[in-house]
Chains A and B, each alone.
Chain A
Amino acid sequence: MEAGIEISLTVNGVALSRRVEPRTSLVDFLRYELELTGSHVGCEHGVCGACTVRVGGAIARACLMLAVQADGAVVETIEGVAATGEVFDLQQAFAEENALQCGFCTPGMLLTAQDLLSRTPEAGPEEIREALSGNYCRCTGYHAMVEAIGKTSRARVKGRSA
């Protein structure tokens, strides 16, 4: 579209440029322009957390950000962190505890949990529940997620001290 604005950014380690409409949200840009459909759209008003991605290393709601605001930024999505193996142990723990059912909230949950554990390596159940409370899950009731994240936290802490 001629009316678009050119942006350049790095997504999952790949530097790229695109012309985007100013009104396009970051999550729509990721999903429809880059076909990174792992980031999901649950509410488009910043409440549910399904669209959580990392921008410049910090988690962000990709439905509340415009793609043009990501010009020059480093963006990471679930596809990126899954490919690098960064969240492999979390993914494993989620599978073992059945901390996902339909899987729609899961990418956002993993990125949120990873963010928590990077800031608070020894997060307890209360801190985990608090950290997840910006992400909706309608299937699990959260219990299994708290278990899975706690398990990962303990294993990582143990791995570091060993």
Chain B
Amino acid sequence: MTLRIEKGRSYIGESVIRPQTTRLLAGRGVFTDDVTLPRMLHVAFVRSPHAHARIASIDSTGARALRGVVVAVTGEDMALVCSGWVGTLAHFQGMKSAMQRPLAIGKAWWQGEPVAAVVAESRAIAEDGVSRVRVEWDPLDAVTDPETALDPSTPVIHPELGDNLAFRLELASGDADRAFGEADTVLSETFTMGRHTGVTLEARAILADFDPSERRLTVYHSFQAPNMMQDILARHLNLPEHDVRVICKDVGGSFGIKVHVYPDEMATCALSVMLGRPIKFTADRLESFVSDIHAREHRVKAELAVKRDGTILGMRVDDLTGIGPYSVYPRTSAVEGNQTVRLTPGVYRFRDYAATLRVVFQNKTPMCQYRAVGHPIAFAVMEAMVDGAARKLGLDPVEMRRKNYVTADMYPHTSQTGYFFERLSHEEALDKLLEISDYRALCAERDRLRAQGIHRGLGLCTFIELTTPGPAFYGVGGARISSQDGCTIKLEPSGKLTCMTGVTEQGQGTDAMIAQVVASTVGVPMEDVRVLTGDTMVSPYGGGTWASRGAGIGGEAALQTGKAIRDSILKVAAAMLQCEPDDLDVRLGKIVDGPTGEVRLELADLGRVAYFRPDTLPKDFQSELTVTRHYVPRHQGFAFTNGIQLSHVEVDVETGFVRLLKHWCVEDCGRIINPRLVEEQLRGAIVQGIGAALYEHLVYDEHGQLLTGTMMDYLVPMAAEMPDIVVGHVETPTAFAEGGFKGAGEAGTAGAPGAVLNAVNDALAPFGARVTSQPITPDVVLKVLGVL
């Protein structure tokens, strides 16, 4: 009997289960701290208790005397092995920052900066050693408030830089002054956005293993960009690049926290080189709060020029952001502010826009890119201004948005600040959101309940998301961070596929997404594909996973590699079957006759012949069953996506508490590979945005001391307070890549804070009260209500 397979199977668009969940659900994940090596030692750090202080002396005698302590090291010792770095990029003109080192020398510039390291047989003994290192501090005045950081009376944090200004940017599109001259009404507001951080549940961890016999360094790292780290370790430890191997095993959350160079991690690697032994560093939670990058401290002044009918004529924005004492290497701390001022007007069609950005140094933990870099601030400001203007003019917030959107007939479109939008779907997303949320009914219910003293509010936030960045992001500025990614697929003799990719997995479902693309493109069942990520020795070179680049770049690379190996497979099959490759197809893991679907060959038979009996093939035929292809976006700087969120809240006007009732999001990330994974990216990202909007706050006193440095003081969203989150999709594939994929990792965080802020303000509208800061804690609500 002849077996026929008439049609192959595509997994694109299917919510298949992620293969690696089985392992994680059994407690068999391997996170960096789970790795133990022979001869391994542990390091703990002496961190500055002061925000700004001169180090008069460091005496490690007590630590060294402790049984089990191997060595205690200062910045001077370490400088002999590891060179310092400066976090600037050439395309941010005029940007400056100071030299940063693994262990500070001479001065400490923030509370938590490492100044000495103690290496011991166990972490506990290393910490005992830390407590016996005596540092004589000479405290200096701390610069904490960005508003006064540039005042002549404020101390200059790094005297060699001349002032506390890291970066300044002026943007002008059209003629903002004319727009304001023609406006019927002008809305002016000042937004104060608090610092927060990522709180990856697995803290940062690194295990460095330098083998002095071969002078090779192997690093296990909880990280998002292994090739970036390989390059940096090679250059700063003066090792040949190919003698540095970075392995990222399971990563317990990242969110942009684990994509930067941290002094304690560099110090750990340097110590391994110094001692010739494996050294492990796992941050504890208390040191995470003062040493993980912080995010989003902004003060934004915004002005909106509007016609009586709701037409937005123009906007002015002044963003001031404090980044701590250093711009973080190698991505810099200018990107957050740069994206904030560039993204702010992008949803809307008005052209007259002027923005000023000042990025200033201060003596707090360094600030840098965290999930949705700049977006949450940009859209909270923009959408609060739109709602504020609508309220002032007595217009419907939905219609005000509709009137001002960049509409379907305007694409391709270039934004006021130069961003290129191939095609976005604001109107379609809005319509879908109104439908799935039954928005008008919720408005009617809100109005009805107001009469009963129940204060509910609805808040919309339209957003765009920068995804799939090309080399314009970092490469052109001189950072050696790959914007291209490779994919390698190998046909095993058994007919199964092994796939290695440059994009990495931190829980998003990269493995599943890549397997879906490969299985669909080659024509095999998904269970026949194994995906390996995160090992610089074996993975093709790539950037890793950040900036929502996994599907847009890694997915397209996988698609192109899948096509290539399918061609290779068909060539072998044609040689075996003595026919033309074009006559054949691969379906469900079998070679079939194209027109009839008749099964001609099993992939396992093909593999057996190609690897073990190539003597049976024509003499001039060489099979190639391992194939690599690469992909970089070449036709646009970024693949922008869009969406809209709606938050429904109830505000208790007596206690100031905000209760989240429900949240909706409609987004458009192009062609969807796995709807459930996209939905879960959105939900998780929305909850992080909600955390920023309502709970999470790194509070400092005027001396630069962090007051919220434990999980008791720093609130992250918990299950009981979080709402159900409904997700809807619009699909506008990009035509610039064959797969049509764009990114989806940050859209949730981009829009959630604005939606919550607008919802709270909608609830407070009857009181004439308005919040313009986050987090919106109960005291903030009570203050605007005049109760406190």
A61 to chain B, nearest CB (A): 12
Return the CB mask of B12-50 against A: 1 if under 8 Å, else 0: 000001101111111111110110100000000000000
Return the CB mask of A31-50 against B: 1 if under 8 Å, else 0: 11001111111111101101
Contacts of B203 in A (CB 8 A): 42
- Cβ-based interface call for A86 (8 A): no
Interface residues of B in 687-716 (CB under 8 A from A): 687-688, 710-712, 716
Q: Which residues of A contact B (CB under 8 A)?
A: 21, 23-24, 31-32, 35-45, 47-48, 50, 77-79, 82, 91, 94-96, 98, 100-107, 110, 125, 128-130, 132-146
Q: Are B719 and A95 in contact (CB under 8 A)?
A: no
CA A142 – CA B723 in complex, angstroms? 9
Interface residues of B in 718-733 (CB under 8 A from A): 718-722, 724-725
Q: Are A23 and B124 in contact (CB under 8 A)?
A: yes
CA A37 – CA B23 in complex, angstroms? 13
- Cβ-based interface call for B683 (8 A): yes
CA A130 – CA B716 in complex, angstroms? 15
Q: Are B680 and A140 in contact (CB under 8 A)?
A: yes
CA A105 – CA B31 in complex, angstroms? 12
Extra inter-chain contacts (4) besides given A101-B509, A107-B27, A141-B686, CB under 8 Å: A21-B124, A102-B202, A104-B252, A138-B200
Q: Are A43 and B202 in contact (CB under 8 A)?
A: no
CA A110 – CA B508 in complex, angstroms? 20
Chain B: CB-nearest residue to A132: B719
Q: Are A103 and B24 in contact (CB under 8 A)?
A: yes
Interface residues of B in 137-196 (CB under 8 A from A): none
Q: Are B506 and A95 in contact (CB under 8 A)?
A: no
Specify which of A40, A45, A135, A142 is in contact with B202 (CB 8 Å cutoff): A40
- Cβ-based interface call for B624 (8 A): no
CA A23 – CA B124 in complex, angstroms? 9
Query: SS class of chain B's interface: helix, strand, loop or mixed?
Result: loop
Query: SS class of chain A's interface: helix, strand, loop or mixed?
Result: loop
A53 to chain B, nearest CB (A): 10
Contacts of A23 in B (CB 8 A): 124
Contacts of B26 in A (CB 8 A): 38, 78-79, 82, 91
Contacts of B546 in A (CB 8 A): none
A12 to chain B, nearest CB (A): 11
CA A138 – CA B23 in complex, angstroms? 19
CA A42 – CA B284 in complex, angstroms? 8
CA A131 – CA B255 in complex, angstroms? 26
Measured as residues with beta carbon below 8 angstroms from the partner, the interface class of chain B is 35 or more
Specify which of B676, B720, B724 is in contact with A133 (CB 8 Å cutoff): B720
Q: Are B711 and A106 in contact (CB under 8 A)?
A: no
CA A139 – CA B680 in complex, angstroms? 8
Q: State whether A130 and B711 are in contact (beta carbons under 8 Å apart), knowing that A79-B26, A102-B252 are contacts in the complex.
A: no
Specify which of A96, A103, A132, A133 is in contact with B29 (CB 8 Å cutoff): A103
Specify which of A50, A128, A142 is in contact with B687 (CB 8 Å cutoff): A142
A135 to chain B, nearest CB (A): 7
Q: Are A102 and B506 in contact (CB under 8 A)?
A: yes
Q: Are B712 and A47 in contact (CB under 8 A)?
A: yes
Q: Are A96 and B252 in contact (CB under 8 A)?
A: no
Contacts of B25 in A (CB 8 A): 82, 91, 94-95, 100, 103, 106, 110
Instruction: Show 6 residue pairs from A and B whose CB-CB distance is below 8 angstroms, ordered by the A residue.
Output: A23-B124, A42-B203, A43-B285, A48-B285, A104-B202, A128-B719
CA A144 – CA B679 in complex, angstroms? 10
Residue of A40, A41, A134, A141 most packed against chain B (CB within 10 A): A141
CA A125 – CA B662 in complex, angstroms? 14
Q: Are A138 and B17 in contact (CB under 8 A)?
A: no
A145 to chain B, nearest CB (A): 7
- Cβ-based interface call for B762 (8 A): no
Q: State whether A101 and B27 are in contact (beta carbons under 8 Å apart), knowing that A42-B285, A48-B711, A139-B684 are contacts in the complex.
A: no
CA A44 – CA B285 in complex, angstroms? 7
Q: Are A138 and B720 in contact (CB under 8 A)?
A: no
Q: Are B27 and A104 in contact (CB under 8 A)?
A: no
Chain A: CB-nearest residue to B30: A37
CA A77 – CA B686 in complex, angstroms? 31
Residue of A128, A133, A138 most packed against chain B (CB within 10 A): A138
Contacts of B29 in A (CB 8 A): 38, 103-104
Q: State whether A102 and B720 are in contact (beta carbons under 8 Å apart), knowing that A91-B25, A138-B688 are contacts in the complex.
A: no
Q: Are B722 and A142 in contact (CB under 8 A)?
A: yes
Q: Are B711 and A41 in contact (CB under 8 A)?
A: no
- Cβ-based interface call for B53 (8 A): no
Q: Are B711 and A141 in contact (CB under 8 A)?
A: no
